[in-house]
Amino acid sequence: MTPRRSIALCILIALLAAPVAAANIERTITSSGDDLDVTLTVTGIPVGGIVETFPDGCIWKETDHPADRTRISGQQAAFAVIGEETIHYRVQGSPEAAEAFTGTWEDLLTGGSGTVGVDGTHDPGAGKTPVETPGFLPAAAFAALAVAYRWRCGR
């Protein structure tokens, strides 16, 4: 096999076997006095949304997330995610309330969704929907073949 064919084959394999980043949101809660500091760590969601539900008895205090991408309604906080890796927010509540936080996320680019994990745990199958992108793999294969053909004919 010629070096050019080897390169073309490697490109084809790389395009067809490109890994898809698994989306995930992890929640870490720390207690400081009467406050609960919540950190959401966002992985693999370039554009999406998170809805956090904090337990009754907790009172919203603040966030470092942009105000125009944060909505508070009752016991829920909604965050629009646009490239963030972490979101921090604070509620007033007892340390025992940390066990009762719940949340969901959605990836708007892939259509995937899931449940926010607690302290780094996440059920990878919870609420996720498989996503198919029709035509992408055939288009990638065609592009790789076109490059290989061009290299072969260009010698």
Which pLDDT score is estimated for 19? 43
Q: Do 95 and 35 touch, CB atoms closer than 8 A? A: no
* Tens place of pLDDT per residue across the chain (155 aa): 566 666 655 554 544 444 445 788 999 999 988 999 999 999 999 999 999 999 999 999 999 999 999 999 999 999 999 999 999 999 999 999 999 999 999 999 999 999 998 543 333 344 344 444 454 455 555 555 555 556 566 65
Which pLDDT score is estimated for 38? 96
Q: Which residue has the tokens 């061009």?
A: 150
Q: Do 119 and 27 touch, CB atoms closer than 8 A? A: yes
Residues contacting residue 112 through CB under 8 Å, at least 6 positions apart: 23, 106, 128, 129, 131
Rounded to 5°, the CA angle 115-79-129 comes to 35
User: What fold does the segment set 24-118 form as a domain?
Assistant: Immunoglobulin-like (2.60.40)
**DSSP state string for 23-84:** PEEEEEEEEETTEEEEEEEEES-SEEEEEEEPPTT-EEEEESS-GGGEEEETTEEEEEEES-
Which pLDDT score is estimated for 126? 40
3-state SS, residue 131: coil
Which pLDDT score is estimated for 15? 45
Q: What is the pLDDT of residues 36-72, one digit of tens each?
A: 999 999 999 999 999 999 999 999 999 999 999 999 9
Which pLDDT score is estimated for 80? 96
